[in-house]
Each structure stands twice: as C-alpha cells, then as structure tokens.
Structure 1
Amino acid sequence: MRNRCRAGMRSMMAMLFVLLPALAHAWGPSGHRMVARLAENQLDATSRAEVRRLLGILGANSLPEIANWADDMRSDPAQRELSRATSRLHFVNFTDSRCTYDEPRICANGQCVIAAIQRHAAMLGDRSATDRSRAEALRYLVHFVGDVHQPLHAGYRSDRGGNNHQVRFNGKGSNLHAIWDSPVLGSRRLRWNDYARLLERAPISDNTANPIDWAEQSCRISRDKGVYPQGRTIDKAYLDRMRPLAERQIRLAGKRLAKLLERTLD
C-alpha cells in the first residue's frame, strides 16, 4: 500500500511539473512566432545571411522555428535542469509602480530578462565565440525580446505577473497571465503566419534600443492601460480593448529584435 501511495505521489508531482511551466509563458507560441517572423522580414541582407547560417547549426531554417525553444525545453526531461536554471530570465519584477529599473534590487546577479537580453546579445556578437554558442544565444535572444514586451512579464505587483490574479473567462476559472498568453491575441482567430502578415501592413516607427527602456515601458502599460480589469470577469469587450495594445507590443518587439540583431551582427 505504501509503495502505491509513493507511486501515486510521484505521478502527481510529475503532472504538476508539466503543468507549472505554462504559468510563465508570454504571448503563447503564436505570439512568439509572430515576433520572430516580423523581425526576420525586417533584417538587412548581411544580418539575414548570418542569422540563416547560425540557424543551420540548430537545424532550423527560420527564426519562428526557434522562437519557442526557451519555453518548450521545460517539457523536455533532458533539459529540465537548464530550464530551472534559466526560469528567472523570462521576466523582471519592478519594486513599485514607478517602474524604474534598479539593477541591484530587481536583477541581482543578472537574473532577469533585461540582463539576459544584454548577455545573449553580447555572446551573439562575439566573433571569437564558437558558432554553437552564438547560435544558442540567438534562440534565447529571439524568445526573451518577445517576453519583455509582454506587459505581465515586466510588472510591479506581487501576483507573479498576473498568475495569482484570478479571473473568470468563458465561465471557467483562470488567471490574468493565462488570458494574455493566448486569448487576447487568439480572439483574432487567425493562424500565426496570417496574423503576422496582417501586422506587417501597419509598420511601426521606433528608435528605442535599450532593453531597460523596453521593460520600463511594458511595466507602465500594465499600470496605466487597463491590463488589470475593473472586475474579475474577462469578457469580449476586454479582449477587444486589449488586442490592439498586444498587437502593438508584438510589432514593437519584432522591430526592436530586428534592429538588435542588425546592431549585433553587422
């Protein structure tokens, strides 16, 4: 009987481990692929050629193919330790609603998405590093730039990026982070590649090159733009209000990722 109980507990823990990673996703797989596609299509010829060369080392042909690797590895038993070691690199927690970056307090030892972007950009641009190391840096960079543009990955509240902010959606319990993972963009009911083509029709201008600024802007969005609803029910009206904001963040992320890759590789 004891053995059966232990086996049952191990099974439950394994299930929990599989379920927990979903709490830390940003945009969902489609959103990350859109960011990658928008960036890829904006690269200059020199950067595009180097990106494709490095993608070949990873067995990939395009940036969207690697955009979700940093999340997907959480469900790979062989990469479980790496997933745990990098889990804090997907977000940054500001200390208050001023949304001001104070590195020693909120990114100690480089454990936040801002430092991760800076670190992997430096590795990608280091021509003395191995091609494999630079290719690994590329796939982290593509993902983390998407992460930092999701407002709930750069918040200041104590609710774990909205994971502990309980809401109801379609008559079922959920949390605000999960709503931003998929339903906000998913309410368009488009495949990600068609969605990316739609967003490309509305180019966006931006000259903000510092990941610190990107994170601070995302934090202010979570504070000012109605991301946190008045009540606890998520309805169609909320999704309709938030979707243009999310789409703008996707477009900004794509443009900024392209410029970052160009600065790093050229």
Structure 2
Amino acid sequence: MAWHLEPVSDPTDVRLTAFRDLTDVDLRRAIEATNGLFMAEGLLVIERVASMGLAIDAVLTAPKWLDRLSRILPDFSGPIFVADEEVLRQVTGYRVHRGALACVQRPAVQPLSHLVSAPGDLLVLGDLVDHTNVGLAMRSAAALGVAGAVLSPACADPLYRRAVKSSMGAVLALPWTRAENWPDDLERLGARSVVALTPDPDAPLIDEVLRRSGHSDVALVVGSEGPGLSAGEFARCQERARIAMDAGIDSLNVAAAVAVACYALRMRRTP
C-alpha cells in the first residue's frame, strides 16, 4: 500500500479547505460548484464511489478508520489527511461518525434528451428543498428499477453531502439530469405517460392509473415538500394519481410517497 498519509493537527490548515464547513449549504454550493466537487461521507459511500471509478481528490479521516479504509482504497495515491475527531469536528462543523470523508470529482450530468431517449420509467422531482428527501427518493427509484431522474432547476442538489449520505451513494447509480425549461420540459419526456403524484382525495389511485398505462413507460412527477406541484406543473401532466391512505392521514412524506409509487411502478411489470 503506497499511501500518502498527511497528519493534520491544525483545523485551520489550508490543505483542508475542500472539507471545511460542510453544514453551510451556501458556502458548500460555492466551493463545490467552483471546483466541480462533491463530498462522499462514510466508508460505505466511499466504497461505492471507488467501485464506480469516480476520481477521488483527497480523503479526510480519523486514525481508527485507516485499516478499513485501506481495504476500500488500496491503490489510492492522493493525499489522505489524518486528524483526531475534535479536529474533524472543527473543520467540518459537526461530529463525523461514519469513518471518513472523500472529496470526489463530480461526474458529468447528461442532457435531458439523452435520458428521455432511453427506455424506462422516470422519476421527476419538482422543487424539493430538503437534500435528505432528494437522496431518499433517488435511492428508492434506483432500488426499484426506475431508469433515471429529472430534477427541476430549483430542486436540491443530489450530490450535496446529505443527499449522497441519505441515499447511501445510490444517487451515483441513478442517471439524472436537470430540466432547463421548467415546467415546459414536462411535455418533453418522450412517449411516457406523465403522472402527477398528489394527495388529492379526488384523484384516482395510482394502481388504477398504472393499469390504464399498461406496460408503457411512465414519468412520475412529485412536487415540493410544502406546496406540492404548482398549477402550471399539474397542467403539463396527463394524469393525477394518489396513494391510498388510512387512519385519517392525508399524505406521506415525499420520500416515503416516492418509495410507494416506485414500488407500484415496478409491480405493474411483474408477471
């Protein structure tokens, strides 16, 4: 193992700039967008990153995780900064519990036309603002066979640290793109049936809607956590669908709703 270990004891060390203030969304957006980076947190996520061949620039970890890290990145030649847990906390802004952080080069985002031209169901995320919800939704989509995801321009970044962590790296396995002309791009999803997921009790159940679509590909559209889909977004969808609810509860968290709906998408193709 030809590692390049660099001990760090000063939390203000300039070598750790890429790892700094990970809880400051605005600052991270500026740092990561400028440098084309994203942060992978935890050994399991770093292992997924490595298995996909993505370029890792640097790693920050505590000494106790070096043995496990050596099995995940045996041939890594970049700097591995090693610091005690208090230094990690001061650098990142929180207590790092998942072993390590890796600074990774962002993969290129494919154009909408490429994603739309490939077969398969799509998940379309409106203006979701919570990174954890975006990560969980994309993890469910990937796990349940959805072919890709389309994000509105205002949707939270799926490669922000919390989104990557909550998805356990699944955001890296699901092809995704950003719509540039929103909500008009909802009408540019190919031959798919565009279905808006809504808590509206007057909407038909999702199983009924999917039965009508047969085996045709579907684009499942979900809105933001608070207001949901706008009138303009609904107008560009061909169908509305709801999930059956009970106990006087009118809706699920958006990430849970996506999981249920993606399972319904999968089951309609199951003999």
Structure ranking higher on relative contact order (CA contacts 8 Å, 6+ apart):
1
- What's the TM-score once normalised by structure 2's chain length? 0.26
More strand by share: 2
More helix by share: 1
Larger radius of gyration: 2
